[in-house]
């Protein structure tokens, strides 16, 4: 079945530091890849997505590139802010058969200090 592995947290950074959260996946076919963010006390919201190999998703200064050769979708941001403190989930959705569900990684807690 499909699976997503993302780096364990927590991650603690100072404001304006560079962020990388690693994500790798296992899936058959051609899945779509997502990063969701969960701010404290809230539900998940889509941060960015990529639907085919070499696509780059971007939003709010975050970026991730769909790398089929390394089955990866690492999240990066050049300069984090305190307001980026949240839990980040990498996820995939399969492309056929009964793979309708979103499969999530376990989440990475990011704390950004002033």
Partner 1 sequence: EAQVTQNPRYLITVTGKKLTVTCSQNMNHEYMSWYRQDPGLGLRQIYYSMNVEVTDKGDVPEGYKVSRKEKRNFPLILESPSPNQTSLYFCASSLSAVAHTEAFFGQGTRLTVV
> Which residues make up the interface to partner 1 (CB under 8 A)?
30-32, 34, 36, 42-46, 49, 51, 89, 93-96, 99-102, 104-107
Integer distance in angstroms from the first to the last C-alpha of the chain?
41
Q: Which is nearer to partner 1, 19 or 108 (CB)?
A: 108
Give the list of residues 6+ apart from residue 41 with CB closer than 8 angstroms, or none: none
Q: Which is nearer to partner 1, 46 or 82 (CB)?
A: 46
* Rounded Cα–Cα distance for residues 98 and 95 (Å): 9
Tell me how far, at minimum, the Cβ of 14 lies from partner 1, in Å.
Answer: 26
Q: Which of 91, 97, 82 is nearest to 12 (CA)?
A: 82
Q: Which is nearer to partner 1, 67 or 93 (CB)?
A: 93
Tell me how far, at minimum, the Cβ of 40 lies from partner 1, in Å.
Answer: 11
Tell me how far, at minimum, the Cβ of 17 lies from partner 1, in Å.
Answer: 25
Q: Are 61 and 9 in contact (CB under 8 A)?
A: no
Q: Which is nearer to partner 1, 44 or 80 (CB)?
A: 44
* Rounded Cα–Cα distance for residues 18 and 23 (Å): 16
């Amino acid at each position: 079945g499909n699976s997503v592995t993302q780096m364990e947290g927590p991650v603690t950074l100072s404001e304006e530091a560079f962020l990388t959260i690693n994500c790798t996946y296992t899936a058959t076919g051609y899945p779509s890849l997502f990063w969701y963010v969960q701010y404290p006390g809230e539900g998940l919201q889509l941060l960015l997505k990529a639907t085919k190999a070499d696509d780059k998703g971007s939003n709010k200064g975050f970026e991730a590139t769909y790398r089929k050769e390394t089955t990866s979708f690492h999240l990066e941001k050049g300069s984090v802010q305190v307001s980026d403190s949240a839990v980040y989930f990498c996820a995939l959705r399969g492309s056929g058969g009964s793979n309708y569900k979103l499969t999530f990684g376990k989440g990475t807690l990011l704390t950004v200090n002033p």
